[in-house]
Structure 1
Amino acid sequence: MIRAIEATEDLLTVLDAEPSPDCVEDMIAVQTLALGSKALVVVTLTRPAQHNALNLAGWRRLARVFNSLRDDSTVRVVIVRGAGGRAFGAGADISEFPAKRLGSAAADQYNAAIASALQAIQSVPFPVIAMIEGLAVGGGCELATACDVRLASTGSRFGIPIGRLGVTLGLTETRAVAGLIGAANLKYLVYSGALATADQALAWGLVQKVVEAGELRAETARLARNIAESSEITVRATKQVTALAADPAVTDGHELIRELHAQAYDGDDLREGVDAFLIGRTPQFTDGRTPAHGRS
């Protein structure tokens, strides 16, 4: 179901409400909002009574959602959130472990489903914003770190208290979390079982901004709208180049870097952005390939 929006306030209305049941499949709701020819997508974990813990079907559904969005050229930004306001996500559903995660063979399948979901989020070419209210623990914390940007309310708590369960971290999850907060802080979260406050998460770099609970939805809507109205060339290139920057062997001569530079400096977005800046108007970007304002 696609709903047209006209302003940030319309997106805020969607974020203020729980998704309707017809948007939900395997505990994951997907709402697509049309902003002209662009699309903003809201993905919601919908098990508030269980703090939005995901079972195996939910993790697999999350992977399918992002894999299907990856090739949608209209999508500009995705917001991931948890229903109910008390939790972003509590990770995996422990109640199904006896049937589906005990024994190495079963665990391999379960762990692969979690890794596939996180990899699907990381691999989409557009930004993914985690809107975090309440608990983001275990797989919920790992899910948040797979997103590009994390905004959190002051009452949020973060942790990976798996020492009380006896499970191990997967490599995908470890890279996602340690890449943000460092190996030592990740070890501390696991060894201590402690839940970090939003301010501690901010200091570690786990989240990028902390706001009062009543402001979180508006802050998220503003950021999403700003991304949607920015140059798609700039936004997508930023995600790609920052991923490459983690590899010290990559230089400015890398094939993808050269390709991105060519797209930007030979494309129409730069001309539109400079023209708008020089005469003091708001830029109207297209897809970076079609001339703006009728220019040829």
Structure 2
Amino acid sequence: MPKPKFGAFNQGDIPKIAVFNKATIPLGVDLDQLIAAMQVYINQFIVPVWATPANLVKSTGFIAGAWAMVFLDDADQPGALAYHDLTPDGFPIAKVFVRTTLQNGDLVSVSASHELVEMLVDPAINLMTTGPDPAIIYAYESADPVEALTFPVNGIPMSDFVYPAYFEVFRKAGSVKFDQLGKVTQPFQILFLSGGYQIIFKAGQWSQVFGSASKKKAFVAEDRREHRSQQRTKAQLERADLKEIAKEEAKTAAGLRRAQRSGHSNAKARVLSRFNRRKRT
């Protein structure tokens, strides 16, 4: 078994989650509207089932003492890797890679809500349980088994998620509700049509089981770097490096300024060239 990573966050308090956008490409949804929809998603759907409340706050960066959700282009964006696994204060962080999400044919709102519910249910990424196969330990990932299923909140698609009963192997098929949409009919079921999967630990290694061959093929093709689920393989989670993030962002900003100056100079040169040609004629 891997060495467990114990986490106890905001015991007795409702966590605040700072939501900020560092992506350079459009999210495909208004950020203010997305945050409002995700707050309803928490209050009306997640809390009654998982009892994990949180308050989302739009910000421009990390907030002291708060959890975080950051939107980035992809794992190759300058400074992206410096966000690591936790906030600078050691609290949970969810990263939504916009370009990667869109390239996979998914919606940013669905990816964000997926990461949100999983962060609320398992903030330290260390919850596991037994299941139908006694030789396997199953990760407590609340959106993966139904990740392709969605429902609208404030008109914005949000991710389906499983209920606690999904991880209770003693439940009989059809006896209770196993997911928000009511599509799952028994514990540990991975829906073929949903493109779901389950992270497992077996024979000393982490791996996945998939609902279909097509889902497995798509999963293998995805860029999984810096995904929360990948953190289960780490011996210790790292805190975000603010200095490295600031350095990379400053380098990017300087590069943009140089490009803009170069563009202005080139444009001016083209105008002068056309003017001189007309003058000669």
The interval holding the TM-score normalised by the smaller chain is under 0.3
Higher relative contact order (CA 8 A, sep 6+): 2
TM-score, length of structure 2 as denominator length: 0.27
TM-score, length of structure 1 as denominator length: 0.26
Q: Could you say which structure has the larger radius of gyration?
A: 2
Q: Which has the higher helix share?
A: 1
